[in-house]
């Protein structure tokens, strides 16, 4: 083997998804040199196989649902959603799985890019197999692992042999399968069931658990299950898969509810860390495990090693990965300068929102938008709290938005500190309601002050007034 090319950077970033890109960008803006190592497409999962394509698939359906819900406008919607045009729009949002635009951005940001498979090789060292040779990278200040996660495949007889869809295939499929089986009722399963049923598939969504969208407020999963069923999706709960096989007609899933048949089977049962083949063993860590980090994303016990995004297992959401990247990037820059890095809650160097105020939106119909603690989480944490619920459809702005608007807002209030701990909105188009709750939770704005945050009339946001009135009693 010829000797490797050697290069030194202040910061070496493994993985050029949105997290890695942001972390490298912050480092360069802070005056450091940075290199991104990427074996697939620059831009990562979110750009090509997750957020962007899934939301592009869903948006048209949602826009039509909204128009059909307004008498007078509904009469104009006399045609059908154009599936080909919808898929073509999705393709545009993924740049047809071409990352040249992202590469241009990386270049313009002053970040170096090396394409190839990077692996840790001891302290501050990453070796990249570029296909045309090796590049040995040394990091003066930090190596940041931003390799993300990949779809987990459960140990089911035959499942690994049938070429099942992962979320990648589900978001990038070129046409709607006639019959789509979906294993797993988390947000991926629910979103993909919503999208493909609308685009022409007969979808069967099944899972072992009794509740969709587990981890969110129970009302969320109930609302989505009811809506999926109303749209023709077969939703099977308490339905355990025991084996899978392909036959001439497609895929057969053997389950506790009998055999389920489809043309494709999407497995969406969770994620696993992409750490199995990146040399974490060379620095004493366990391959395949999430990397444990502190709130600056520094890996426990290894001060030069950071892990941000899905790979640390904290909050597997694009926006939280980017947030962690901003905070970790700031910490790396400050430490490189010998500056003090406060690890106090809400400092510029820590990802406190990971614990206290993680927002998430499930783009189903109804949408589910939540931030902070659920009722169950407040209970588990032993926090003194009160739950306030209000039907969103009773707000004038919601009834104007859509005839028969049905939704619920669930607020969890800390009764000792009199601040909002969490909020869940269930209903059409609630995604954009969430930021208000996020700011209230993060800002720890007292309830007595929130009384002065008057919602404009008549908007759906008048739900805030109703919740506060209900809290006051």
- Continuous segment of H or E residues that includes residue 205: strand 202-206
Q: Does 344 bind its own copies (CB under 8 A)?
A: no
Q: Does 462 bind its own copies (CB under 8 A)?
A: yes
DSSP type of residue 393:
G
Q: Does 417 bind its own copies (CB under 8 A)?
A: no
Q: Which of 137, 144, 375, 433 binds its own copies (CB under 8 A)?
A: 433
CA distance 48 to 39: 14
DSSP, residue by residue, 98-146: --HHHHHHHHHTT-EEEESEEEE-STTEEEEE-SS-EEEEEEEEEEEE-
The residue range among 5-13, 119-127, 270-278, 432-440 that interacts with its own copies, by the rule CB under 8 A, is 432-440
Site for its own copies in 274-293 (CB under 8 A): none
Q: Which of 152, 168, 443, 470 binds its own copies (CB under 8 A)?
A: 443
The residue range among 36-44, 187-195, 379-387, 437-445 that interacts with its own copies, by the rule CB under 8 A, is 437-445
Residue 111 near residue 25 (C-beta atoms within 8 A): yes
Order of strands across the sheet with 234-236? Answer: 234-236, 202-206, 179-183, 264-267
Whether a cis peptide bond, with omega within 30° of 0, leads into 5 is: no
Reading the block at residue 74, the tokens are: 């509904």
Q: Which of 298, 318, 365, 408 binds its own copies (CB under 8 A)?
A: 318
Written in H, E and C, the secondary structure of 288-336 is: CCCCCECCCCEECCCCCEEECHHHHCCCCCHHHHHHHHHHHHHHHHHHH
Tell me the site size for its own copies, rule CB under 8 A.
Answer: 85
Whether a cis peptide bond, with omega within 30° of 0, leads into 39 is: no
Number of Cβ within a 10 Å radius of residue 74 = 13
Site for its own copies in 68-127 (CB under 8 A): 69-83, 85-89, 93
Site for its own copies in 211-250 (CB under 8 A): none
Site for its own copies in 11-50 (CB under 8 A): 46
Site for its own copies in 350-379 (CB under 8 A): 352-353, 357-361, 369
Site for its own copies in 143-162 (CB under 8 A): none
Q: Does 346 bind its own copies (CB under 8 A)?
A: yes
Q: Does 175 bind its own copies (CB under 8 A)?
A: no
The residue range among 34-42, 160-168, 184-192, 439-447 that interacts with its own copies, by the rule CB under 8 A, is 439-447
| Beta carbon nearer to its own copies, 125 or 438 | 438
Helix, strand and coil in the chain, % to nearest 5: 35, 25, 35
DSSP type of residue 282:
G
Q: Which of 23, 320, 409, 467 binds its own copies (CB under 8 A)?
A: 320
The residue range among 123-131, 215-223, 292-300, 433-441 that interacts with its own copies, by the rule CB under 8 A, is 433-441
Quickly tell me which residue has 């459809």 as its tokens: 393
Q: Cβ 397 to its own copies, closest distance in Å?
A: 8
Q: Does 323 bind its own copies (CB under 8 A)?
A: yes
The residue range among 115-123, 148-156, 187-195, 312-320 that interacts with its own copies, by the rule CB under 8 A, is 312-320
Q: Cβ 402 to its own copies, closest distance in Å?
A: 8
Q: Does 461 bind its own copies (CB under 8 A)?
A: yes
CA distance 304 to 295: 15
Distance of CA 131 to the CA centre of its chain: 31
CA distance 174 to 250: 17
């Amino acid at each position: 083997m010829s000797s490797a090319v050697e290069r030194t950077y202040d910061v070496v970033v493994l993985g050029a998804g949105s997290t890695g890109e942001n972390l490298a960008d912050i480092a360069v803006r802070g005056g450091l040199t940075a290199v991104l190592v990427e074996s697939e497409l620059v831009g990562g999962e979110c750009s090509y196989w997750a957020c962007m394509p899934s939301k592009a698939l869903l948006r048209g359906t949602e826009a039509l649902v909204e128009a059909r819900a307004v008498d007078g406008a509904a009469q104009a919607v006399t045609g059908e959603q154009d599936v080909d045009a919808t898929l073509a729009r999705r393709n545009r949002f993924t740049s047809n799985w071409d990352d040249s635009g992202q590469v241009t951005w990386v270049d313009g940001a002053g970040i170096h890019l090396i394409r190839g498979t990077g692996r840790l090789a001891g302290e501050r060292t990453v070796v990249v197999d570029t296909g045309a040779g090796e590049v040995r990278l040394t990091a003066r200040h930090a190596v940041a692992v931003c390799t993300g996660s990949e779809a987990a495949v459960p140990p089911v007889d035959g499942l690994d042999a049938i070429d099942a869809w992962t979320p990648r295939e589900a978001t990038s499929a070129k046409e709607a399968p006639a019959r789509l089986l979906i294993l797993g009722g988390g947000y991926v399963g629910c979103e993909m069931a919503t999208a493909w049923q609308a685009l022409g598939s007969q979808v069967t969504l099944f899972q072992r658990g009794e509740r969709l969208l587990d981890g969110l407020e129970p009302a969320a999963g109930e609302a989505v299950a009811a809506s999926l069923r109303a749209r023709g999706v077969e939703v099977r709960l308490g339905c355990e898969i025991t084996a899978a096989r392909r036959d001439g007609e497609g895929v057969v899933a053997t389950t506790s509810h009998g055999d389920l048949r489809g043309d494709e089977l999407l497995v969406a049962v969770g994620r696993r860390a992409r750490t199995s083949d990146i040399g974490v063993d060379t620095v004493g860590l366990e391959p395949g495990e999430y990397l444990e980090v502190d709130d600056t994303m520094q890996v426990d016990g290894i001060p030069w090693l950071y892990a941000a995004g899905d790979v640390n297992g904290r909050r597997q959401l694009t926006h939280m990965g980017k947030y962690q990247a901003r905070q970790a990037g700031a910490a790396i820059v400050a430490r490189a300068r010998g500056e003090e890095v406060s690890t106090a809650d809400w400092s510029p160097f820590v990802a406190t929102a990971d614990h206290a105020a993680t927002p998430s939106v499930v783009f189903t119909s109804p949408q589910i938008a939540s931030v902070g603690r659920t009722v169950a989480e407040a209970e588990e944490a032993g926090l003194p709290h009160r739950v306030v619920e209000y039907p969103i459809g009773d707000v004038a702005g919601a009834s104007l938005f859509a005839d028969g608007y049905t939704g619920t807002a669930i607020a969890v209030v800390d009764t000792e500190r009199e601040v909002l701990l969490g909020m869940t909105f269930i209903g059409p188009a609630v995604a954009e309601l969430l930021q208000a709750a996020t700011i209230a939770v993060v800002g720890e704005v007292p309830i007595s002050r929130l009384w002065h945050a008057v919602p404009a009339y008549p908007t759906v946001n008048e739900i805030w007034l109703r919740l506060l009135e209900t809290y006051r009693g």
